[in-house]
Amino acid sequence: MIITKDYTQLSERAAELIIDHMKNNPSLVLGAATGDTPKGTYTQLIKKLNKEDLDLSEIKTVNLDEYVGLVSEHSQSYWTYMKEYLYNPLNLSYNQAIIPNGKAEDLHKECERYEQEINRLGGIDLQILGIGRNGHIGFNEPYTPFDSRTHVVQLTENTRKANARFFTGEEEVPERAITVGISTIMKSKSIVLLASGQEKASAVQAVLNGQVDGAWPATILNNHPDVTFIVDEAAKNG
């Protein structure tokens, strides 16, 4: 566990860790998270990569989730996020991005396709995770079975409220999403969980207690052999 004094330091540490993985594995499969927390990490990553001479053309990113019903061009789709925070600044080819299609006609087939796609890539090498206030990872809400694979979820009211800040209002937040499952996340070779700010303190506390508890999905990470928690003091101490 790495405790940083603030969000900037958290972002720097996370970016350094990602770059180490990129250096060791030019065809890294990077599990990408969205939300506010990783934005600083991506910004630092871009800054640091601009000073390095790394070939990123063989790297793939695999997103954790996507809203159901948003076209990929929607300003709040996670594909738009990826383009803005990673793909365009790094000049990556869009072919390197794997992301669920929230507009798929058959969502269950889409989930199956996504799971197979991850397997075809040999699994996720390094999974970046944020954490919801209720301890969710990806969009795996409390009591999602730990053996879940990619699936469609009904978002809880709390999560829709928390994400309303990205939309014009809560009613604009989609009710459903596609998310990789908890077992999909747990199969990643390495995991980094980022938590910043006081409002994450209860979830962080649950994880650091060490007990695995379905009420706080992120607690399952205690069973993973290679996980790094990077949390700032506010998230650690409340």
- Catalytic, 209? Answer no
Contact between 40 and ligand GLP per CB under 6 A: no
Element (H, E) at 11: helix 7-24
Contact between 132 and ligand GLP per CB under 6 A: yes
The token duo for 163 is 């994400």
- Of the residues 17, 28, 65, 144, which one makes contact with ligand GLP according to CB under 6 A: 65
- Catalytic, 141? Answer yes
Contact between 33 and ligand GLP per CB under 6 A: yes
Contact between 37 and ligand GLP per CB under 6 A: yes
Catalytic residue among 63, 66, 110, 134: 134
Number of neighbouring beta carbons within 10 Å of residue 80: 16
- Catalytic, 74? Answer no
Element (H, E) at 135: none
* E strand residue ranges, 10-77: 29-32, 60-63, 65-67
Contact between 139 and ligand GLP per CB under 6 A: yes
Cα angle 89-90-96, degrees, rounded to a multiple of 5: 120
Distance CA 61, CA 82 (A): 9
Element (H, E) at 160: helix 157-163
- Tell me, what DSSP letter sits at residue 84? I
CB of 74 to ligand GLP, least distance (A): 15
Per the document, the length of the chain is: 238
For ligand GLP, which is the closer residue by CB, 25 or 101? 101
- Catalytic, 237? Answer no
Site string for ligand GLP, 81-120 (x = CB under 6 A): ----------------------------------------
For ligand GLP, which is the closer residue by CB, 54 or 215? 215
Contact 190, 184 (CB under 8 A): no
Contact between 175 and ligand GLP per CB under 6 A: no
Catalytic sites, residue numbers:
65, 134, 136, 141
* Interacting residue ranges for ligand GLP, rule: CB under 6 A: 33-37, 64-65, 130-132, 138-139, 159, 163
